[in-house]
């Protein structure tokens, strides 16, 4: 009889120890999901009821049913898993170039661009924010542009390397200077343009590559459209020696390339 009670007590103690071990936090784990994504952090719940809870490196909790989990592994010391934040403020700083396509056999205008985009990441797959950009050119026609726009980015995967779709739409102001020539004698005159303004649309495709826990490199190529309103006559960018009438609207098309970093 004593042997029977001893066996029962030993079984209860083993069961209690096993349950306590199952509830103890398991740090430095990688939870791989069946949808191909993974979460790195501390497994705080892995119970018989069929649930797994993970607290990631940014102290955010994730709940999964066990049938959603492929496996749970120890985090390798040098393994590069997905480490960028999944929610919160992000900033993109990007440099690039824009080639404004000319019309009527004119010359293209190549400009240097600089953009700063402040966004909020609502999930690992979507961000929305505001951008401020400038474009400058001193070759051919002196051109200065300033853009204020809404910026949205859709990331196709939650991984270290993710392609994304970037949609930017907003307001653009363009200022130009031209060199005029006379048929009888040579002279130059810089004609400053004020007030050319209108809409700007810039869809593009890009790629983001994580280089650390809080930083990634970005690059993209896109199409940019300007729909501007002219408040006065000016020498045409098409080099056709004509003046556009007061109050007219005109469209510029361009190809844009940008590269930068996100943090």
Give the model confidence (pLDDT) of 105-157 as tens digits: 556 777 889 999 999 999 989 999 999 998 887 665 677 888 999 999 999 98
Same domain, 133 and 242: yes
Comparing CA positions, the residue from 74, 190, 86 lying closest to residue 138 is 190
Is-above-0.85 flag for pTM?
A: no
Task: State whether 108 and 40 are in the same domain.
Answer: no
Query: What integer is the mean pLDDT of 200-223?
Result: 92
In this structure, the answer to whether residues 133 and 251 fall within a common structural domain is yes
Cα 80 to Cα 210: distance, rounded to the nearest angstrom: 9
Flag whether 154 is in a domain: yes
Q: Of 30-39, 118-127, 174-183, 237-246, which range is least confident?
A: 237-246
Domain range for 222: 88-262
**Contact (Cβ atoms closer than 8 angstroms) between residue 109 and residue 102:** yes
CA contacts within 13 A on the Cβ side of 257? 4
Q: Are residues 52 and 129 in the same domain?
A: no
Domain contains 210? yes
- Last residue of one domain, picked from the residues 79, 100, 117: 79
Number of compact structural domains in the chain: 2
Q: Are residues 131 and 213 in the same domain?
A: yes
The percent of residues in the chain predicted with pLDDT above 90, rounded, is: 28
Q: Please say which residue of 53, 79, 105 terminates a domain.
A: 79
Domain annotation covers residue 16: no
What are 252's two structure tokens? 């510029």
Final residue belonging to a domain, choices 79, 96, 118: 79
């Amino acid at each position: 009889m004593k042997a029977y009670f001893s066996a029962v007590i030993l079984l209860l103690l083993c069961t209690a120890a096993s349950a306590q071990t199952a509830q103890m936090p398991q740090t430095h784990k990688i939870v791989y999901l069946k949808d191909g994504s993974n979460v790195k952090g501390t497994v705080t719940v892995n119970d018989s009821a069929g649930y797994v809870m993970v607290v990631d490196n940014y102290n955010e909790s994730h709940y999964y049913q066990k049938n959603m989990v492929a496996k749970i592994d120890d985090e390798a010391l040098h393994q590069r898993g997905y480490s960028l934040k999944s929610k919160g403020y992000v900033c993109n700083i990007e440099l690039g170039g824009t080639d404004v396509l000319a019309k009527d056999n004119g010359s293209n205008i190549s400009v240097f661009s600089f953009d700063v985009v402040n966004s909020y990441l609502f999930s690992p797959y979507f961000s929305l924010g505001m951008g401020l950009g400038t474009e400058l050119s001193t070759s051919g026609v002196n051109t200065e542009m300033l853009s204020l726009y809404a910026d949205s980015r859709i990331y196709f995967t939650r991984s270290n390397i993710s392609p994304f779709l970037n949609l930017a739409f907003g307001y653009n102001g363009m200022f130009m200077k031209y060199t005029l020539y006379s048929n009888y004698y040579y002279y130059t005159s810089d004609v400053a343009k004020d007030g050319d303004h209108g809409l700007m649309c810039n869809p593009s495709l890009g790629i983001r590559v994580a280089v650390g826990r809080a930083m990634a490199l970005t690059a993209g190529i896109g199409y940019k459209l300007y729909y501007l309103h002219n408040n006065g006559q000016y020498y045409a960018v098409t080099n056709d020696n004509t003046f556009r009438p007061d109050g007219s609207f005109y469209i510029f098309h361009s190809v844009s390339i940008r590269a930068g970093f996100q943090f």
